[in-house]
Structure 1
Amino acid sequence: MSIVKKPNGGPQVSGIRPRKKTVPAAGIAFLFISLLCLSVAASVQFENSPTVYLAGEVAERDIQADQELRVEDAAATEARRNEVARTQPPLFDLSTATIDVLRANVNATLESLRNLSADRHETHRQQLAEMLNSDISTRTFDIWRTPVFATLLQREVLPWLETRLASGVVADQRILLQERNGIIVRDLSSGSEVLREDLRYVPDIEKLEKDMESFLRHDLNIPLRMRRAVTDMLFPLLAPTLTLNREATTRRTQEVRNAVSPVYYRLQKGEIIVRQGEKVTEDMQLKLQALVSQKQEHLSAPRVAGVFLTALILAAGLLFSHRTGSFSFKSSKDIIFLSCVVLAFAGMAKGLDVLGAALAEGKGGDSFELLPFLLPVASAGGLIGLIFSFRRCVTTSLLLAFICMAMMDGGTDVMLFFFLSSVWGAWVIRRAQTRQEVVWSLLPLAGGILALWCGMAFLEGSGWARFGYGLMLASANAVLSLLLIFALSPIVELAFRYTTRFRLMELMNLEQPLLQELMVTVPGTYHHSLIVANMVEAGAKAIGANSLLCKVAALYHDIGKLAKPEYFIENQAGGKNKHNKLAPSMSALILLSHVKKGVEMARQHRLGNRITDIIQQHHGTSLIRFFYQKAIDNGENPRTEDYSYPGPKPQSREAAIVMLADAVEASSRTLNEPTPSRIRGHIETIMKNIFAEGQLDESELTFRQLSMLTDSFHRILAGIFHQRIEYPDAKQGQRAASQEDKSEKKKQAVSQQPEKRTTLIAVSDRPARPQTSARSGEQP
C-alpha cells in the first residue's frame, strides 16, 4: 500500500514521522538500584558455618560439603617444597682477594729478609715464627734470606700456586660430599655464576699442600731442605678461595620453595567430610577448616560486579526496542512493575535457597539440591503475559531466570529451567480467553514443566529416586504457579491500575451491563462496534499488537454516544436528522462530547486505563470538517479548536488501529456497489488521509504495518459486503422492489440531498471532509 510519497515522487522508506521520545528516568533508576541490590544479595552467604572438629575428636553428626572446594594439602605441599629445596645447589663465592693477600705477604716477608741487619736475625726469626704460627729453624731462616729462594718463589712456586687457587680451593673437601647436585660458583670479581656438578676435582687446602710438595719434588726437582723452606713459608699463608655463602644460599632456597605451587585436592559438592560417630583425622580437620573459611567470605566483590554487569546487559534487551533501538517503555510504571516482579521472585528464590540449606544441615543426600525446581517462576511469566506482549515476556523471563539462578547459586541447568518455565507460563496464559480456560491451562502448564524436568534429568543421568523427587517438585511447581497467578493478578490490577487479560476477558463478555445497554439503547452503534472489533482483532494479530486489548477497546470505544444517541445517524432508524435544526457549533459540540462522556463512563465502570486511553484517543485531534465548513458558509469565523477533538493523538499501536478501523468502517457504509476493488481503494484513501493529518505521528505504526492493516480490514469488509445470489422464485419480487426503490431514491435525490450529506457526516463522526476514492472515483 502506498501511503505517502516524497516531493520528488519517490517512495518514503522510513517509518511514521518520528516523535520525540521521553525517557522514563524514574523507572530506569528503580530498575538500576534493584539490580544492584539483588547483585549484592546474590553474593552474600547466609548459611550457618559447620562445626569444626579437631583431630582425634568424634563427630556428633554428618557434615557434607555444600559446594565444590579446593583444599590445600599442607603436608604434601611441604614435602614437595622440601624436595625442591634439596635439589637447589648451594652458592660458593670465588674470591681472588685471597691470592692478592698471599702474594702481598710473601713479597713483604722477602723484602724484610733482604733488608734485615745482622744484629736482628734472631729477633726477626721469632717474629716470623709467631706470624706464621710455626717453628722456624735457623737453617730454614737462612735459606729464606738467600736470593735463590726468593727467585724460586717469585718465578716458579707463586705462579703455580696462584693458578690453583684461582680455579677454586675449599677449606675441607668434606663439605662437598653431601652436595650431589653440584655447587654454584660465583666469581666475585666478574659476578658470573657457573654450576660445577663434578666436585671430585675441587681441591681443599690439604690436597693443595700435597700437590705443591709433589710439584716441588718432581716438577722442580728441588732438594729436601729447599722444599721444606718453601712449604714452611707458604703453608701457613694458604687460605681457601672458594667459600660457602650461607645467607645467599638460604635466601635462594626459600625463593625456590615459595615458587612451588600448593598441592590441592578437590572437595566435591555433596561429599561427606565426616560421618556421625567417626573419629576425625587431620585431613578431615583440614577440610572442615577450609569449608568454614570459605563460608566466612560473606561478600565477594568480583561476584557482585559479575552479577550486576550481566544483569545490566540482559536489562538492556528489555528496555530497548528491537526495531528502533530507542526505549521501548513510555512510562516508568511498566518498568517499576517488571522490577517488582523480579524483586519478588528473586526474594522467593533466596528464601528457598536458605530454607534448603537449613533443611540439609546435618543430613546426608542431595534431595534438597532440587528445591530450585519448586520455585514457581512460571507464575511470573504468566503475570507479565496478562499485561504485556509475548516478546516482553521473553526478555523479562531471561533477566528473571539469571537473577534467580544467581540467588540460588545454581548452574546453567537451573537458569534454563527458570527461563523456559517462565516463557511457557506466559505462552499458556496468553492463549486462554476465559478464567475457565486459565484453570484448564494447569494441564499444559504442568505438562510443560514436567517435560522440562524430565529432559534435564535424563541429560544429567539422575537416579530413579532423584527423578521421582524431581517429578513431585515439578508438579507442585505447576500448581503453585497457577495459584499465584490467580492470587496476584487482582493485586496487580489494584496496585498498578493495570487492565490484565483476566479483566479484558471479563469485559469482552457480551453479557456485560454496559454492552447490554449499548445493544438495547443504541443498536446501530452496537453493531458498528461489533464490526470494528472484528476488524481490529484481525489487524492486531497481523502486525503482532495486543489483539485482545484492541477488540475490547473497540467494543467500548463509542459508549459516550449513550448520552445522546439520537444525534448519531446509525441510531436514527430512518428518522429526521436533528442536526438540520442546530447551529454548526452546537452540532460539533455534541459530536465532540461523546469522547469526553465515553471517558467518564469508562472510569465510572472501571474499564481500566488502557481502554480509557483508547476511548480518549480514537479520534485524535482531527477536525470535524463538515460543520466547520458549514459555519464558514453561514458567514461565521469559526476557530478550528472549537471543531477539533481534544485528543491526544493515538499513543500506541492499539489506539491507532482502533482509530483506523473506526474511520474505515463508518465511512464504508456510504459506498455504492462495494466491490472488492472499491473497498480496498476506499480503505487506502481513508488511511492516507488520517496519516496525512498527522494523527499517527505519536504511534509506533510503520508503513509495512499499515499495509498489513489494509489487507486485514479489506478481508473483513469484503466478507460483510459480499454479493448474494438471487433465488429463482424470488426474482420477480426482487425486481419489483428494486424498481420501487430506484424511483423512490430518484424522487428524494433533489429534495433531500443536503440533509443526506449532513447525515453521512454525523454517522462517521470522523473529520468530515469531501473524500474521493482513489479507485472508484465516487464520493463515500
Structure 2
Amino acid sequence: MEKLQVQLTAILDLLNIKIFRVLLFLLIGIVMYSAMFTNVKPEKLNLELFSVAEKTIRSPITIEDKESTEANRREAVEQVNDVYRVKREYAQNRVDLVTSIFGSVSEVNAEAQEEIDKQKTAAEADGKDVSAPQVPTIEEKIEKLKTKLTDSETKSLSDDVFIALLQAPKEELQAAKDLTVTAINNTMKHSVPADEVENAKLNVEEELKYTSLNGSLKRAVIEIGRYAVVQNEFYDPEATEDLRQQTMDSVEPVRILEGQILVDEGQLISRDIYKKLQLVGLLESENSYKPFIGLGMLTALTLFGLYVVFNEMENADKKQKNLLIFSIIFITAILLMKLVSLFDEFEYSEIGYIFPAAMGAMLIKILINERLALLQVAILAVIGTIIFNEGITGTLNVSLGIYILLSGLAAILFLQKQNRRSKILQAGLFVSVINLIVILSILFLRNSQYSGLEYGFYITAAFVSGIVSAVLTIGLLPFFEAGFGILSTLRLIELSNPNHPLLRKILTEAPGTYHHSVMVANLSEAACEAIGANGLLARVGCYYHDIGKTKRPQFFIENQINIDNPHDKLPALTSKNIIIAHATDGAEMLRKHRMPKEIIDIAEQHHGTTLLKFFYHKAKQNDHEVKEEDFRYPGPKPQTKESAVIGIADSVEAAVRSMNHPTHEQIETLVDNIIRDRLQDDQLSECDITLKELDTVADTLCETLKGIFHSRIEYPEMNKQKVKQA
C-alpha cells in the first residue's frame, strides 16, 4: 500500500504540470471513444438483390421513406374528386329573367291599349267615328316586344311563344308567369350539373305540362321554362386544389423505425427490402464516416465539460487529487460497462440492467463531492445509451440511459446525509428497490407481453445492480482512502470511535486532556458548521489535537488531580519546552499511526506561533534579556478555517474552565479578547477565515458555552458543604 501511495503521489506531482493534465483528459477521451467505437461503427453488409439473409437485420435509425410516402400521397390525391360549387344566385337570376319576359309582354299590351285609347280620345274630339280604331297588328307587337328583350331571348324563343303571350288575357298571363316561376324555382334550387341540364329542362316541362293553361299558352311557358333552366353547378379549381393539398397533408409519412426488423434470417431480399436496406445506409456503410465524427464531438463535449468543472476548483493540490480520483473511477465504470455489454453478443440483449450504475456515483460522492457525482452519473447515462444498444449500430438505448441515471441519482440522494460505512450497503438495497421500480415502469410503458421468466430476470438484474454497486464501493473505498490519503466522512466517523487506540490512550493516560478535547470538539464543531466549514473534521481533529500530552500528562494542568504542579519546581525555559513539545510530539505520534494529514495539521497548527505568556513573564522576572521568540510555539500558523477555529476554541475552553462561575457577560468578553488577541498577534493571516466569520464564531462559542455553564440552583446541602469546605 505504501508503494501505491508513493506512486500516486508521484502522479499527483506530475498533474501539477499542465501538459500532464491535458494527457489525462486525453486518456479519458480515448477510453470513452474506444468503448463506444464498436457500437457506432456501421455494419458492413455484403447483400445482393434476391439473395437470402444470413441473419436478422434491424434498422439502425429512424428515417422517412420519402419515395413510399410520395407514392401514397399520389394515390390519395388520385382518389380525390373534383369540387363543384352550386351557384344559388343562378336560380334567382333565371326567375328574374322569366319575370322580365312576362313583364315586357304586359308592357307591350299596355302600350297597345294606350294607343287605342288615344285614338278614341282624338276621334271623339274631332267628332269622328271611333267604332273601328286602328289596332296594332300582332307582328307589330312582336317587333315591339323584341326591342324590350335581349338578343339571347329573341333568338332562343320562337315567335309562337311571343304570339301566345301577347294574345293571352291578363289573368291567364299572370297565372302563366306564376306557374313558370314556380317550376323554375323548384328545379333550379337543386344542383344542375352540365350533364343534367336536359333532365332539369324535362322536369320543368313535366311540371308545366299538367297545368290548366290553354294549349298555345302552355306550349309557350314550357318553351320559356326550358329556356330558363341552365347549369348552376360549376367546377371550383381552388377548392379542388385545397382538398388535394389537405389530402396530401393527411397522409402519414412512411417511416422505417429504429430497431425495426427489415429482413428476417433466411428471408429473401426482395426489391422492396433491398430499397429499405439502402435507405437506412446499411448497403453504403463502408464509406460512412458520420458516426465517428458524431462520437468524436460527443467525447470532446464531455471532456470540455469536465475541464470547466475541474478548472473552477480553487485549491490546486485538491484539484489534481480529485481529478485523478474521478478519472480512475470514471474509466473503471466505463470499462466495466463495456465488459457487461459484451454479453449482448450471446443474445442477452437486456444484460445492461445488471451494470452496477450506482458504484461510481457512491464512490465520487463519498471521496469528492456531490456535484461531480451527479456529473459522472449524467455522462455514464449517455454512454450507456450507446454501449447497450443491443447490437444495433448507431442506435440509442434510451431505456438503459434512464435506468443508469436514476440508479445513480438514488445512490447520491440516499448518501446525502449518511456518513457511516454501514450505510453503503443500505444504499445498495435502496438503489435495488429504485432499480426495480424503474425497470417495471419501463416495461409497463412499452405495453408488451413478458413471461414470468423475463420478469424474474429483470427483478434479479435490479437487485444485482444495487447490491454489486454497494459491494464494489465498500471494497474499493479503502484503496482510495489509503492510496490518496483521503479523509472522507466515513473515515472521520471511524476515527471518532472511542475505541480507537489513540483515543483510548488519551482517556486512560490523560483523562483530563480527554475531557478537555471533548469540550473543545463540541465548541469547534458548532462554530465550524456556523461558518460553512467542515464541522465533523473539526470534531475529530479536536479529539486528537492534544495527543502529544500523553507523553508527559502530569505536566498539564487538566491532568493534575490531587498532585502538585511540577512546573513550580522547574525553570521557565524547561517548562516552556515541555508545553511546546506537545504539539510537535502529537504530530509525530499521529504520523507514526498514519493518521490523515488533516488531523496531523490540526495537531501541529492549533497553537500556531502563539506566545506562552505565563512562562515568558516568569522567565523575564529572572532574566530581562529573554527573547519573546524563544517562548513561542514553532507553528506553523493555522492554514485552514478548521485549524483556526480549533485554536480559538482550545484557548476559550481552557480560559473559561479556569473561571469560577462565569457569567454570560464574562464569557462574551473572554471570547472577544481571545479572538482579538489572535488577530493582533497575526495568527490568522495564513488561513482564509474572514472577520465576518470570526464574529459568527464568537457568537456560536458564546451560545455553546452559555449552554454548558448555565446557572444552577444551589440546594441547602450544597451550601452547607461549601461552608464546611471553607
For this structure pair, what is the TM-score category when the shorter chain's length is used for normalisation? 0.5 to 0.7
Q: What is the alpha-carbon distance in structure 2 between the residues aligned to residue 407 and residue 653 of structure 1?
A: 45
Asked whether the equivalents of residues 572 and 619 of structure 2 are also in contact (C-alpha less than 8 Å), the reply is yes
- In the alignment, which residue of structure 1 is the partner of 2:687? 699
- In the alignment, which residue of structure 2 is the partner of 1:422? 408
2:58 maps to 1:64: yes
Q: What is the alpha-carbon distance in structure 1 between the residues aligned to residue 680 and residue 406 of structure 2?
A: 44
2:570 maps to 1:548: no
Give, in angstroms, the shift of residue 56 of structure 1: 1.4
Offset from partner CA, 1:204-259 (integer Å, 9 cap, x none): xxxxxxxxxxxxxxxxxxxxxxxxxxxxxxxxxxxxxxxxxxxxxxxxxxxxxxxx
2:316 maps to 1:316: no
- In the alignment, which residue of structure 2 is the partner of 1:41? 34
Q: What is the alpha-carbon distance in structure 1 between the residues aligned to residue 62 and residue 487 of structure 2?
A: 50
2:718 maps to 1:734: yes
2:355 maps to 1:384: no
Q: 2:433 aligns with which of 431, 439, 447?
A: 447
Q: 2:282 aligns with which of 287, 291, 295?
A: 291
Asked whether the equivalents of residues 319 and 327 of structure 1 are also in contact (C-alpha less than 8 Å), the reply is no
Q: What is the alpha-carbon distance in structure 2 between the residues aligned to residue 654 and residue 405 of structure 1?
A: 44
- In the alignment, which residue of structure 1 is the partner of 2:297? 305
Q: What is the alpha-carbon distance in structure 2 between the residues aligned to residue 484 and residue 61 of structure 1?
A: 38
The amino acid across from 2:260 in the alignment is: E
Taking only the aligned residue pairs, the percentage that are identical comes to 30
Residues 516 and 481 of structure 1: is their aligned pair in 2 closer, same or farther, counting only changes over 3 Å? same
Task: Please show how residues 603-614 of structure 1 align to structure 2 within 5 Å.
Answer: 603-614=591-602
Q: What is the alpha-carbon distance in structure 1 between the residues aligned to residue 658 and residue 586 of structure 2?
A: 25
Give, in angstroms, the shift of residue 600 of structure 1: 1.9
Q: 2:710 aligns with which of 697, 722, 727?
A: 722
Residues 385 and 619 of structure 1: is their aligned pair in 2 closer, same or farther, counting only changes over 3 Å? farther
- In the alignment, which residue of structure 1 is the partner of 2:462? 474
The amino acid across from 2:270 in the alignment is: T
Offset from partner CA, 1:535-577 (integer Å, 9 cap, x none): 3333344444433333222211111111111111111114322
Task: Please show how residues 451-462 of structure 1 align to structure 2 within 5 Å.
Answer: 451-453=437-439
Residues 274 and 388 of structure 1: is their aligned pair in 2 closer, same or farther, counting only changes over 3 Å? same
- In the alignment, which residue of structure 2 is the partner of 1:119? none
Give, in angstroms, the shift of residue 641 of structure 1: 4.6
CA RMSD of aligned residues (A): 3.8
- In the alignment, which residue of structure 1 is the partner of 2:477? 489
Give, in angstroms, the shift of residue 58 of structure 1: 1.9
State which drifts further: 614-623 or 550-559.
614-623
- In the alignment, which residue of structure 1 is the partner of 2:340? 352
- In the alignment, which residue of structure 2 is the partner of 1:664? 652
Q: What is the alpha-carbon distance in structure 1 between the residues aligned to residue 605 and residue 288 of structure 2?
A: 57
Give, in angstroms, the shift of residue 270 of structure 1: 1.5
Asked whether the equivalents of residues 69 and 291 of structure 1 are also in contact (C-alpha less than 8 Å), the reply is no
Asked whether the equivalents of residues 52 and 288 of structure 1 are also in contact (C-alpha less than 8 Å), the reply is no
- In the alignment, which residue of structure 1 is the partner of 2:579? 591
Residues 632 and 419 of structure 1: is their aligned pair in 2 closer, same or farther, counting only changes over 3 Å? farther
Offset from partner CA, 1:159-187 (integer Å, 9 cap, x none): xxxxxxxxxxxxxxxxxxxxxxxxxxxxx
The amino acid across from 1:520 in the alignment is: T
Q: 1:375 aligns with which of 345, 355, 359?
A: 355
Q: Say how many residue pairs are matched.
A: 521
Offset from partner CA, 1:563-601 (integer Å, 9 cap, x none): 111111111114322223333332222222212221222
The amino acid across from 1:384 in the alignment is: I
Q: What is the alpha-carbon distance in structure 2 between the residues aligned to residue 644 and residue 488 of structure 1?
A: 44
Residues 423 and 71 of structure 1: is their aligned pair in 2 closer, same or farther, counting only changes over 3 Å? closer
Asked whether the equivalents of residues 38 and 403 of structure 1 are also in contact (C-alpha less than 8 Å), the reply is no
The amino acid across from 1:62 in the alignment is: T
Offset from partner CA, 1:604-658 (integer Å, 9 cap, x none): 2232233223222222333333333444443354455543333333333333343
The amino acid across from 1:275 in the alignment is: D
Give, in angstroms, the shift of residue 708 of structure 1: 4.1
Give, in angstroms, the shift of residue 288 of structure 1: 4.3
Q: What is the alpha-carbon distance in structure 2 between the residues aligned to residue 327 and residue 725 of structure 1?
A: 51
Q: What is the alpha-carbon distance in structure 2 between the residues aligned to residue 564 and residue 496 of structure 1?
A: 33
- Unaligned runs of at least 5 residues, structure 1: 1-21, 81-263, 361-366, 744-780
Residues 355 and 706 of structure 1: is their aligned pair in 2 closer, same or farther, counting only changes over 3 Å? farther
Offset from partner CA, 1:413-459 (integer Å, 9 cap, x none): 75565455334324434544544444334333333444455566667
Residues 720 and 348 of structure 1: is their aligned pair in 2 closer, same or farther, counting only changes over 3 Å? same
- In the alignment, which residue of structure 1 is the partner of 2:496? 508
Give, in angstroms, the shift of residue 523 of structure 1: 0.3
- In the alignment, which residue of structure 2 is the partner of 1:246? none
Q: 2:670 aligns with which of 662, 676, 682?
A: 682
Give, in angstroms, the shift of residue 42 of structure 1: 5.9
Give, in angstroms, the shift of residue 345 of structure 1: 1.3
Q: What is the alpha-carbon distance in structure 2 between the residues aligned to residue 452 and residue 708 of structure 1?
A: 45
Q: What is the alpha-carbon distance in structure 1 between the residues aligned to residue 532 and residue 438 of structure 2?
A: 28
Give, in angstroms, the shift of residue 275 of structure 1: 0.6
Give, in angstroms, the shift of residue 521 of structure 1: 0.8
- In the alignment, which residue of structure 2 is the partner of 1:561? 549
Residues 311 and 562 of structure 1: is their aligned pair in 2 closer, same or farther, counting only changes over 3 Å? same
Q: What is the alpha-carbon distance in structure 2 between the residues aligned to residue 400 and residue 646 of structure 1?
A: 49
Q: What is the alpha-carbon distance in structure 2 between the residues aligned to residue 333 and residue 523 of structure 1?
A: 38
Q: What is the alpha-carbon distance in structure 1 between the residues aligned to residue 466 and residue 343 of structure 2?
A: 20
Asked whether the equivalents of residues 310 and 319 of structure 2 are also in contact (C-alpha less than 8 Å), the reply is no
Residues 455 and 611 of structure 1: is their aligned pair in 2 closer, same or farther, counting only changes over 3 Å? farther
**Which structure would you say has the larger RCO, counting Cα contacts within 8 Å and 6 or more residues apart?**
1
Give, in angstroms, the shift of residue 464 of structure 1: 5.9
Q: What is the alpha-carbon distance in structure 1 between the residues aligned to residue 464 and residue 612 of structure 2?
A: 59
The amino acid across from 1:388 in the alignment is: I
Q: What is the alpha-carbon distance in structure 2 between the residues aligned to residue 23 and residue 698 of structure 1?
A: 25
Q: 2:623 aligns with which of 635, 650, 659?
A: 635
Offset from partner CA, 1:109-149 (integer Å, 9 cap, x none): xxxxxxxxxxxxxxxxxxxxxxxxxxxxxxxxxxxxxxxxx
The amino acid across from 1:738 in the alignment is: K
Q: TM-score, normalised by structure 2?
A: 0.63
Q: What is the alpha-carbon distance in structure 2 between the residues aligned to residue 462 and residue 676 of structure 1?
A: 72
2:693 maps to 1:713: no
Asked whether the equivalents of residues 386 and 430 of structure 1 are also in contact (C-alpha less than 8 Å), the reply is no
Give, in angstroms, the shift of residue 479 of structure 1: 0.8
The amino acid across from 1:311 in the alignment is: L
Task: Please show how residues 268-287 of structure 1 align to structure 2 within 5 Å.
Answer: 268-287=257-276
Q: TM-score, normalised by structure 1?
A: 0.59
Equivalent residue of 1:273, what SS?
strand
The amino acid across from 1:59 in the alignment is: A
The amino acid across from 1:344 in the alignment is: T
Equivalent residue of 2:667, what SS?
helix
State which drifts further: 340-349 or 677-686.
677-686
Residues 60 and 523 of structure 1: is their aligned pair in 2 closer, same or farther, counting only changes over 3 Å? same
Equivalent residue of 1:44, what SS?
helix
State which drifts further: 312-321 or 715-724.
312-321
State which drifts further: 23-32 or 620-629.
23-32
The structure carrying a bigger helix percent of its residues is 2
The amino acid across from 2:503 in the alignment is: L
Equivalent residue of 2:367, what SS?
coil
Residues 445 and 626 of structure 1: is their aligned pair in 2 closer, same or farther, counting only changes over 3 Å? farther
Offset from partner CA, 1:335-354 (integer Å, 9 cap, x none): 21122112221222333344
Residues 72 and 438 of structure 1: is their aligned pair in 2 closer, same or farther, counting only changes over 3 Å? closer
Equivalent residue of 2:548, what SS?
helix
- In the alignment, which residue of structure 2 is the partner of 1:104? none
The amino acid across from 2:29 in the alignment is: L
Asked whether the equivalents of residues 318 and 392 of structure 1 are also in contact (C-alpha less than 8 Å), the reply is no
- Unaligned runs of at least 5 residues, structure 2: 1-13, 74-252, 390-395
Q: What is the alpha-carbon distance in structure 2 between the residues aligned to residue 372 and residue 708 of structure 1?
A: 51
2:506 maps to 1:526: no
Q: What is the alpha-carbon distance in structure 1 between the residues aligned to residue 626 and residue 254 of structure 2?
A: 91
Give, in angstroms, the shift of residue 327 of structure 1: 5.2
